[in-house]
Amino acid sequence: MRIRNTALVAVMCAGLAATLTACGGEGETADPDAGTNGVGKLPATKIESKARTAAGGADAVHLSGSLMSKGRTYKVDMKLKGDGGTGVVSTKGSRYELLRVGEELYLKADAGFWAHQGAGGGSGGHNGDAAAAGKLEDKYVKVPSGDPAYKRLSGFTDKSVMLDGLLGLHGTITAGDRGEVGGIRTIRILGGQGGGGTLDVSLEGRPYPLRLQRAGHAGVIRLADWNKDFKLAAPDEDHVVDYGQQIPTGT
């Protein structure tokens, strides 16, 4: 009986040992960098550098979310690549579409937007504005390169301008927690312990930045569809109208 009990204990111990080995062993933890691109092992400043390099080398990106600039909050949903971009920007109840192909910039909005801007600028008063706004509704207006609004509006369609303006963290950069953005494993880096912004960097594939919390809670931006190409073409001529005066600087 004693021999049989000893054999039973040996079998149970062997099974327990196998179970512990399969689970990584008692007292051991899984390697958080297993199967990743390895940037999680790097110093935080190096992670930021690699994220910037990856972003700068990408052919295309989709930016969406909100950001504050000069006291105004903008909601953006833009697809950008090297030769232009397209998407929607809204602020203070105004919503307009932007399209840039090369150096050519187009703006499209509804009649309410143009009526609010005083479309036409003529002497016909409210009725004149309403008539002009109706002609501009859902039409593309080409923004002249010399117009003061061109530089400000075209910035939303410029991949380099947007990324350079968004990706900087302020203060001492440190590494934070690991998490997920859109089902992709990430590591977070923080500027000034988070007060200077946070950036979630992909641990899968190239270390693209995937989510940005801007310094001072000045908006949150998602960055997706890295290197995913999209169609970018100038609108048909019959969908383009001449605004006839300087584009309103308040848009």
For residues 115 and 213, the model is more confident at 213
Over residues 140-177, the pLDDT tens digits come to: 999 898 888 898 899 999 999 999 999 989 999 999 99
Edge to edge, the sheet with strand 94-101 lists 173-181, 184-191, 198-202, 209-213, 220-224, 60-69, 72-81, 84-91, 94-101, 104-109, 140-143, 240-241
Strand partners, 107: 98, 141
Pairing mode, if any, of strands 220-224 and 60-69?
antiparallel
Whole-number percent of the chain with pLDDT over 70: 76
Task: Delimit the domains of the chain by residue range.
Answer: 1-29
Over residues 14-29, the pLDDT tens digits come to: 554 444 444 444 555 6
| Phi-psi category of residue 197: left, alpha or beta, with phi > 0 → left and psi -120 to 50 → alpha | left
Over residues 104-131, the pLDDT tens digits come to: 999 998 776 776 665 554 444 444 455 5
